[in-house]
Amino acid sequence: MMLTLALAWSSACASSSPMGAGGAGPGGAGGAGPASLGQGGQALAVEIFESASTNSRSMKVEIFANASAERTIGPPTALEADTDGALGSSLDGTPKSFPPGSTDVLAVLQALAGVNDLSAIPIGRNCPKSISFGTTTTVRANGKTSGDLQCIDSESDAGDVTAGKALYEACRSLERSD
């Protein structure tokens, strides 16, 4: 099933512009604009971004049309610099590449396929976060961007609550994958 999903995703991305113009696809209908290219000139299909906080680095995962991905981690935080890296993070800032068909990448694509419209995932207005550890996680695909997936409004009956939660969990798994 996962291989079928990757092939279908690759085919859909090849027939339309992954981040802009083109037909509807996972994550919602496309908008206007040219295809985005990631590192190495590959067609970018999905972008996951987790913001930095006082105690944690930012992180970006780019998933390409061939179902491969590249994870980059931002520079050390001021706190990490002050403690000479003694925060003990297992993510040292080294980029990680995921080959086409990687389980974690396919899990994100499968979860994304269950979302009708990224921008319609209900996000709660009251989402308190720690000043030191609070981050935001967003996903962009097919010209749509989600709100902060850490703040999905579970009480809402609008939008893709269950699909949004599945997408967030798949994104977290990919972000933290060794």
Tens-place pLDDT, residues 103-159: 999 999 999 999 988 998 999 888 888 877 889 999 999 999 999 999 999 888 766
3-state DSSP assignment of residue 87: coil
Strands 44-50 and 59-64: antiparallel
Q: What is the dihedral of CA 64, 65, 66, 69, to 10 degrees?
A: 10
Q: What is the mean pLDDT of residues 16-38?
A: 42
Taking the C-alpha atoms of residue 116 and residue 6, their distance in angstroms, rounded to an integer, is 18
d(CA 172, CA 61): 11
Poorest-pLDDT segment among 26-30, 114-118, 174-178: 26-30
Average pLDDT, the chain: 76
